[in-house]
Amino acid sequence: MRVVHYLNQFFGGIGGEEHADTEPQVHDEPVGPGRLLGQVLGENAQVVRTIVCGDNYATENMEALTALVLEQTKDAQADIFVAGPCFEAGRYGVAAAGLCVAVSSELDIPVVTGMAQENPGVDLHRQTLYIVDSGKAASAMREVLTKMSDMAHKLASGQDMGAPAEEGYIARGILKDTFVEQTAAQRLVAMLDAKVKGEEFESELPAPSFPEIPAPAPVADMSKARVAIITDGGLVPKGNPDNISAWAATNWGSYDIAGKDGLQGDDYEVSHRGYDTRYVEQDPDRLVPVDVLRELEESNVIGELHSQFISTSGLVNPIANSRRLGREIAAQLKESEVDAVILTST
């Protein structure tokens, strides 16, 4: 079995975030975790090619990267394509999952990847791919690669894949017909009975849980409050200096508006898909209303407009990732002694 392996710049041994712009590099041998992958795959499989790419480059040049990966995978006469594992690395996970989808559909060969449940790549492609649940810790690399290897062999041999709990992949949200002894009504009553008695039971349709968020205390006097603007509409300065992705963004940016009475279209662009951005690009104040808030500041309706506005893209962003971004943004605003926030969207 001939295997092509995709890695990001960190696991590819190039370096950390300072090398995230690294262009794709192709090696006709296993690299980094690929050596361990080769071991767990066994004697009848070999990593014949490794493609290493920086996370930022992948995010910003996904079309070009996909074309290269397809070309190299086809040229290597690969029987299977493996990406990662990516653990919690968001940009890595999004790129790995996207490449797996492309290779599967274009080359019609099995694909395997692995990442943590919270990785945005999971929510984007969980229904299309078999994604091994890697957990959060890269220290579990051997265990995760062993699961990915087992899945690779099973897919390559055309075997049917079992349930997520049996095979170790993340649930795809796909319901399959099967024969069971009890009817749906009987199973439902049994679960309800167990719940009432405080006994353990397993729901057949787990529901997502959202913790209650208590409302903050109201601002006592807005005329003395420092107010900040946050948007998930993707407004960024020209050139997108923080490389915020147009979808499934894993980072955010904070941009100076000190002394500005409004925003000029020539100075900004929009890193977001799914809505007509022309109106915002013509007049960025439509999304980030600096002009109106300056008027409220001058009229003493608010005490002060914060000197920075914060922006990211909220498009197809998983809940877990959105929570992390929110915590990071809240920490900075708290440090800046912001009293209230206006959140604008598309």
CATH number at residue 136: 3.40.50.2300
Q: Average the pLDDT over each of 86-100, 154-168, 303-317 and give the range with the smallest value.
A: 154-168
**Euclidean distance between CA atoms 28 and 134, whole angstroms:** 26
Q: Which two tokens stand for residue 125?
A: 């492609």
- Predicted confidence (pLDDT) at residue 2 exceeds the cutoff of 90: yes
- 95 touches 122 (CB < 8 A): no
Bridge partners of 47, per DSSP, are 3
**Euclidean distance between CA atoms 210 and 81, whole angstroms:** 36
85 in any annotated domain: yes
Residues 339 and 244 in one domain: yes
What is the reported pLDDT for 137? 86
Identity of the amino acid at 238: K
Longest dimension (CA), the chain: 76
Bridge partners of 228, per DSSP, are 341
pLDDT band at 332, cuts 50/70/90?
A: very high
Start-to-end CA distance of the chain, whole Å, equals: 48
**Euclidean distance between CA atoms 185 and 190, whole angstroms:** 9
What is the reported pLDDT for 279? 94
- Predicted confidence (pLDDT) at residue 171 exceeds the cutoff of 90: no
Residues 36 and 127 in one domain: yes
Per the structure, how many domains does the chain have? 2
- Predicted confidence (pLDDT) at residue 110 exceeds the cutoff of 70: yes
Residue finishing a domain among 167, 184, 204: 167
- Predicted confidence (pLDDT) at residue 280 exceeds the cutoff of 90: yes
Residues 153 and 250 in one domain: no
State pLDDT tens for residues 218-246. Answer: 999 999 999 999 999 999 999 999 999 99
Task: List, edge to edge, every strand of the sheet that includes 46-53.
Answer: 25-27, 46-53, 2-8, 80-83, 111-115, 131-133
Residues 27 and 163 in one domain: yes
Residue 288, classed as helix, strand or coil, is coil
277 in any annotated domain: yes
**Euclidean distance between CA atoms 123 and 127, whole angstroms:** 8
Whole-number Cα distances in Å, 90 to 8, 123, 245, 296: 11, 11, 11, 39
Residues 228 and 163 in one domain: no
189 in any annotated domain: no
State pLDDT tens for residues 10-29. Answer: 999 999 989 999 999 999 99
Residues 163 and 230 in one domain: no
- Predicted confidence (pLDDT) at residue 343 exceeds the cutoff of 90: yes
Residues 162 and 228 in one domain: no
**Euclidean distance between CA atoms 267 and 260, whole angstroms:** 12
What is the reported pLDDT for 126? 82
133 in any annotated domain: yes
- Predicted confidence (pLDDT) at residue 206 exceeds the cutoff of 70: no
| Mean pLDDT for the stretch of residues 72-78 | 96
Residues 163 and 312 in one domain: no
What is the reported pLDDT for 227? 97
Residues 152 and 271 in one domain: no
Residues 81 and 157 in one domain: yes
- 13 touches 31 (CB < 8 A): yes
333 in any annotated domain: yes
The residue segments making up the domain with residue 121 are: 2-167
46-53 and 2-8 strand pairing: parallel
Torsions phi, psi of 105, nearest 5?
-75, -35
| Mean pLDDT for the stretch of residues 336-345 | 95
Residues 129 and 247 in one domain: no
Whole-number Cα distances in Å, 132 to 83, 148, 154: 11, 6, 13
| Mean pLDDT for the stretch of residues 146-156 | 91
Residues 150 and 10 in one domain: yes
208 in any annotated domain: no
- % of the chain surpassing 90 pLDDT: 72
pLDDT band at 125, cuts 50/70/90?
A: confident
pTM of the model: 0.63
- Predicted confidence (pLDDT) at residue 313 exceeds the cutoff of 70: yes
Angle between the 33-41 and 141-156 helix axes, to the nearest 10 degrees? 50
